[in-house]
Structure formats: C-alpha cells, structure tokens
Chains A and B, each alone.
Chain A
C-alpha cells in the first residue's frame, strides 16, 4: 500500500452554506497501480489529485502516505514527503520559461541537494530515455506541446519518485501525441512507477488498471 484516504472531507463556505468539494472519500492505492480519475467538470478530480499530492489541504479525515499520517504532519514535513516521493505532471506542462530543457529537468535535483556530478548523470539519463538529447539547450517556447510534456514527465521522473500524479497530461495535445504520452506512462508503470492520472477521455482511462468516477466530490463507482 502506498497511500490511503479515509473518510476524507474538503469543503468551502460560501454564503453561509458549506459546499463539499470532496465528500467522504475512501480510497486506497497500492504500489504498482495505474489509476485513472474521471468525472465531469467541477466534480473534484483535480482537488483530489492536489490533496493526494499534498499541495492542497483537507478539512476532515485521514490520509496515510507510506505509513505516515499526512493529516498530523506539519507543512514542512509534508513538503519533504512529497518532494521525496511524488512527481507532478501538468496539463499545461508548467515548464519554467526562463530555463532550458536541461535546466528544467535538473531543477528538482537542485532542490534535493544532489551533487553536480550526480545531477549530470541523472539528467543525461532522462534525456536519453526520452530521446530529447538534441533539444537539451532549447527553451520551452521552442518546443511543440508534445515535446514540452515529455520534458514535463522527464522532470517529474528525474528524482525517481514512487508516485506520479498527472493532471490531464494530454489535455492540450493532439491524438497522436496523446497516444505517445499514454504509451510512455504504461511503460513507466510496467517499470514499477505508481501513477494516478486525471482524465476526461475514456481511451486514456483505459490505459489504467483501475478507474475512479467522481461526481460532486463523491466517488460514485470504481472499476
């Protein structure tokens, strides 16, 4: 088991009413799973992903990540935890415009205080693996969407996380590019990386081992 959510609630107060963004979520993820989260707009998919990624808080319930109870941890500890074990992939790639491909991939390693020689080796490995060595000196604006997302995934993977959280990773891509990215995820999953993705598309969800349907913050079914 990599993580477990138990009786988890998240809400906002609006005009004296409590609006539930996440409503009584019970959900366990085991190591090696590839989970897709689906649901209509505003159903709480991204919120759930952010809660799992510890970027967002929740109001009630329990969250255990690798034996640590996240809800009792201090902000600092939590950040340490997700930095160590989680990689993020975003719909709009979210690369840093001022950095080259190489530097973008290198950045997480800088924050984890790897030595320069180690960083070089790890980034080179990623560039190799994703076949983007030739583009390492380019800036994000010089790349196509698919290429940018490749860099985004490389950046998420470079520090060997246990879990990848992907928020509509192919939302901005055309179908060919989408397929490539999903194939990549599948390969990664086979190599042992646990993946949770949020998606709108049934075909993308089909790559996963399990699909979670959300509606108005409630898990309506799993299959």
Chain B
C-alpha cells in the first residue's frame, strides 16, 4: 500500500513540475536557513562545553554601586584568592587567580614571538583539565617556568623537543619550558590561552601586591576562578561569600558596596550581560532571536506547502471521490496525503543539504563565523531526518484533513466547488507570511539606519591616516629622534604618545574633588596620559582655553577635559580651575569637543587628558596624505626597527579599529537583510503559485468577461486585487509589531535613530510593489489570453 502511495506521490510531482519546483524549492530554502541557523546555535551553545568540569567552574565577580548605578565586573583585588581560601575553603576544590589575557613577547635564539596568554596559579591545569602532552601539573610552581600550547611550541621549536628549553620573556627574564598542553578549543573562553606564565613571576613583577598593609583596600586588577567542591551549588556559595570584601575593606571600599558572587562557566558566554547587577542575558538573546527567525522562515515555507495544496484541491477532488467510491476510507486517504507531504519534505531536505554545503562558505564569510556541516555527526542527521518528518506531517496535516474530507458524490459528480469560506484559512496564512516578511524588512531597514546614524556621528578627531603602534622602552626613550626623523622625511605630519588606545575603553579613576563639587557624588572619570603633540596629531577641536603646548611651561600638572566632563562637574568657567586628588593638584588648561573613544552608541564619558611625558602604551602617527601608505608604512617600520630590531612591527589603522565597534551591528544588519530577502522570496514564491491557481480557476470567468468587453487593464486589477488586499492587511498588522520590536531594540542604544514613518511607508510600498510584480505575470497572462480558447475548454 505504502509503495502505491509513494508511486502516486512521485507521479504527481513529475506531472505538475511547476508546482513541485515552487513547493520543494520554497521548502528547501526554508530548511536550508533553518539548518544554518541551527548549526550556528549549536556552535554557540556548545561554547565552553569542552571543559570536563564546565558545570563546576565559575568566575568570582563583583557588583558594586557608584552614584546609584550598580555595575558588575570581573576585576578583583589579589587578596581575594587567599581570602576565599581561608574563610570558605571548604566550598572550593580549586581557587585559581589569573592576570588578564594579554600579549607577551618571548625570544628564542634571535627570534621574537608575541603570543597571548595569562599568568595563572598552578592549579589551572587541573581546574581546566588541560591535556598536558609533556610536563607535570606542578610545572608552573617554579618562578622561571612557562607552559606553551602545542601550536605555539611547534611554531617556536618546530620538531625539536621543547622541554627544558629557555625562552627570554619580555627581553629580560629567562623562563624554562615546563610543559606543553593541547591547544584549548576555539569555541571556549580560553581560546587565547596560548602561553601560561607562573603566578609567582606575576608577584615578583608586581612586588607591591604583597607589601600592602590592608590588601582588601587594594585596587581591582586580577581575575579569580574557582571550581566548586562536591555537594555545593553556585547560588549557595554566592550567598555565603557575598560580603567578604565589604566586611574586610575600609570606608572607601564600603562606600562602593561590593557584593562578591560566582558566575558559572556555563553562563559566561551566553549570559554575559549585567544591567544594574542583574544578569539580563546577553548572547542568548541573539540566539533566541535568530532561533525565532529560523522557525518563522521555515513556517513561511510550510505555509506555501499548505496553501498550494489546498488551492489545488479542486484538481485533487476528483481523485479523492474516485478513491472513496472504489473503497478507500478516510484514514487511508489521509495516509496517502501524508506520504506525499513527507516525500516532498525529504526531497526538500536533500535539496536543502546541498544548498547548505554550497552556501556555508559564503555565509561564514559574510558573518565571520566558522559553521561547519557536522556531516559526520549522527545526531545532526537524526535531528534533520526527524525534523523533515515532523515538517512533512505538520505541513501535510491541514491539506490531508481537508482533501480527504470531500464527499465522494460531489467530487465525482464534478459539482465540487471550493466553498466560499474555503479560501479563508489560505488568506490567513498568506497574511501571516507577509506579516513576518514585512516585519523583517522593516527590521532590516531600521538596523541599517541605526548603523548609518552611528557611523555618521562626529568622532571629535580625524581618523584618516592615523595609525597606532605599541610603545617599547627603547622607542619611548627616543621618541624625539623618531618624530623628527619621520617628520623630516615627510613620512608623517605628526606623532604623539598616549597611555590609552584611542579606540578602546580607557581606565576609570575616582577620588577627584573640585570647588563646588556635589558632596554626594562619587566622581568617576576616564583618564589618560598624553604628551604635548597629542592634540595636534589626532586633530581634536579645542572649544575653550588652549591645547597643551611646549610654549606654556608651568610647574603644575595640566589637564584638558572634554565637554562631558565639564557638564558632569557642573563647572561654569572651567579654564584655570583646579582639580584635586589627595595631595595632587592639577589645573584645567583647555576643553575639547567630545571624542568618541568607546561606544559610538553611548554618551561620551567624562574624560581627563593629563599632560605627561611618561611611557605610554601607544604612539599615534598621522601619515602624510601626499605619500603612498605603503611607502610611509615601510619607512616607519624601518625607523622603529632601528630601536627594536627583534620585535615584529605592527601598526594599526585607527579607522579600521574604529570600524570594529560596528561589527556586531553590521553583522546583525547583514543577517537580518539576508533573512528578510529570503522571507519575502519564499512568500512571493507561494503567492506566485496561488496566483497561478487562481488564474487557472478563473480562466472561464475571464473569458466571459472579455467577451462582454472587459479590458486587459480591468482584468489585471480584478485578478490582482485580492492579493494586494491581503498584503495591505499584512502591512497594517506588521507595522505596529515591527514598531514595538524595533523600538525595544533601539532602546539599548543611547545614541539612536528615530523610528520615522517613512521607514514603514517605504517597506509597505516595497512589499506592495513586489506583490504586484509577482501576481501580475499570471494576471496579465490570463487576461490577455484569447477568450475563444478558454471558453472552448468547457
């Protein structure tokens, strides 16, 4: 029997080729989108799962309250490890402290390698279950030791045995290779842990840590990880350790109300966003969103299937009637239609798999992901096959019930005509399709408007031809020689040095005071050291006072503030005013226009630029625009190599770095665009199919109308009217939904575009235009056919 069903289903597909292509093609595109989104979600949720103890590991973090804003961060004072050990040791199997992941230089023979890594306490190997290829878990106990990942070891030593070899760290400390571990998986929080440096070395390099009289008042600059002991939970332990810092700190510490808690590893990646001290999600939101979009697009494709099938009902009615008359019962007919829809679903799945394989490289390239097909995972295939089965059943459900319900007599007599109400479910489905598509179109437009809006926001300095290069002791000491050499050769226009990178988050400092300061305020400024040439080099704009200048030497410390700082401090005539921090005093010499350093979507934070000659972290160089970039860069490299011949030379273009701030939004924009296009494509495919059936059904009516004198234009309107009406209804439903969703999305941005009416208008008109284009082909074809032919078929 089932064989017979398959045979019929297959012959039906072959016989109605156009219909089959629309049906299978639409479903396949929907499935391909769902598979790609599914693969992406799988990658995201398996993040950090490669660690054996991932459900027992947590990072110790802190909430604190400054000026009524509750913030959350990972940085803790170095004493935290010992404090937890002494007071709550029973709850933890391991407590491991670490520095921030950062670049370190290692020299072997005369080659220098710069690799990322952390200083870690020795237990890190056991806590993370790192797979040691050689060496022992205790390797990091020695101050002069280092462990390398397998790939770094191969890069440095090649085939040679690395164990016991000496690497020169930071150009002056000898470290002996004490172990090699297998690379940490890419999709994990420790993917950049290419080298591990011993904690004892960190303490030796930062002797002040151990000499603090009350270490609980120390600043926060290290990270602490723990693995829980058996039989305790994150929540319980979090409650226990909550006040450890508050209780031990001095008045200043207490004023920030620090609350210590554990953030489990399983939440690091997906739930990384805290607002007002509450974990409000993070990437998981994006996953949910795209999960929804994937399901919606799949639903669109299923709707096509349902609509095309029920629209064809008059064609299939005869078959149903005959089958009933010669002995089929309803159950057998339902089974037959299910077999048909499942067959279509599987053909669509096969097509979708090919589509996924072919398009994945482009998709990965577009969204900078590394999704792969997982074709050797049985789970993947089982999921897909079960999924196709479910889709086949779901999409086939309504058509099967509907088609099998025809009464044999009517069907056979040929008196079967779709009921008047029969097209209502179909219309509802078309409306839901277009509603989803239009919401996506509006969403895509608003995302790109927002990106445009933020991109066009004035940054307060000039990014063109500005490059940044890390400083070293040698280059810092010779900055004057380097600068005059490069300016003299007309390679650059100017060069400056600063403690902070102009496109990255700056350090914050509190503890300031000034005349007329609100005594309740706990002042919090972004703070950076810059030298004399900073302003000229980056091209900032002085609003009041003057720039730093060698012509104005004075004994006192000089500050330039940004406009936000002046507003924050509520200063009337800021120039010449002094700001105090403990016994230090500084005078404000100038005010600059706000520079966008951190997020282009947020208010600029109050910032202090401090004139300093100390070693910063970066040089900023303004290339000479009349020379070729390549030429200038090689000249700059040549000059820098004079001072650090062994170090690799790296220069970053400020505009490229700035561009990275838009990465997330641009990615979102690209994805939403892509999905909006696919959604409207699938919907139109379905509409095209429906329009064809409608035109076919009305052939006789059109013929009669033509004979009695209707023009092609009138007939075109007649045939298109219904569909246009449905789309207009969809626009009306979609607009408020899109408005609600997108204003929610925009709410996350302080600096945001308006939701203008024109976006909705353009999206609506666009959808209408596409609809007309889709249905007009069929309408005009039918309307211009010779009526003699259509009437003769009766």
Q: Which residues of A line the B interface, CB within 8 A? A: 46, 50, 53, 55-56, 76, 79, 83, 87-88, 90, 92, 94-99, 103, 107-108, 110-112, 155-156, 159
Contact = CB atoms under 8 A, between A and B. Distances in A.
Nearest to A88: B325
A155 B326 contact: yes
A92 B323 CA distance: 15
Contacts of A159: 327
A110 B1 contact: yes
Contacts of B319: 96-98
Contact of A90 (B11, B407, B412): B412
Interface string B286-326: 00000000000000000000000000000000110111111
A83 B332 CA distance: 14
A76 to B, nearest CB: 8
The contact size tier of chain B is 20 to 34
Contacts of B761: none
Contact of A99 (B8, B321, B408): B8
Contact of B4 (A83, A88, A110): A110
A55 to B, nearest CB: 5
19 contacts: A55-B324, A55-B408, A55-B409, A55-B412, A56-B409, A88-B326, A92-B414, A96-B319, A96-B322, A98-B15, A99-B8, A107-B4, A107-B323, A107-B327, A111-B323, A111-B328, A111-B332, A112-B327, A159-B327
B307 to A, nearest CB: 22
A94 B8 contact: no
B4 A103 contact: yes
A111 B324 CA distance: 10
Contacts of B322: 94-96
Nearest to B9: A98
Given A99-B8, A110-B1, A110-B4, A50 B409 contact: yes
A59 to B, nearest CB: 15
Contact of B325 (A46, A55, A76, A98): A55
Interface of B: 1, 4, 7-8, 11-12, 15, 318-319, 321-329, 332, 407-409, 412-414
A193 to B, nearest CB: 16
Contacts of B329: 76, 79, 111
Contact of B7 (A53, A83, A94, A103): A103
Contacts of A98: 8, 11-12, 15, 319
Contacts, number: 58
A128 to B, nearest CB: 20
A46 B328 CA distance: 21
Contacts of A103: 4, 7
Given A98-B11, A103-B7, A46 B327 contact: no
Given A55-B325, A97-B15, A110-B4, 11 more contacts: A50-B409, A55-B407, A55-B409, A76-B329, A83-B327, A94-B412, A96-B8, A97-B319, A98-B15, A99-B11, A107-B326
Contacts of A92: 414
Q: Which one of B322, B332, B413 has the highest number of Cβ atoms from chain A below 10 Å of its Cβ?
A: B322
A112 B327 CA distance: 7
Contacts of B326: 87-88, 107-108, 111, 155-156
Nearest to B5: A110
A87 B323 CA distance: 12
A56 to B, nearest CB: 5
A76 B318 CA distance: 21
Given A50-B409, A55-B408, A111-B332, A94 B325 contact: yes
A158 to B, nearest CB: 9
Nearest to A139: B11
B413 A94 contact: no
Nearest to B328: A111
Nearest to A47: B409
A98 B320 CA distance: 13
Q: Which one of B8, B321, B327, B329 has the highest number of Cβ atoms from chain A below 10 Å of its Cβ?
A: B327
A87 B407 CA distance: 17
Nearest to A107: B326
Contacts of B324: 55
A111 B329 CA distance: 8
Contacts of B409: 50, 55-56
A96 B319 CA distance: 6
What are the 10 closest A-B residue pairs judged by CB atoms, nearest first? A111-B327, A83-B327, A98-B11, A108-B326, A94-B322, A55-B409, A55-B408, A108-B327, A56-B409, A88-B325
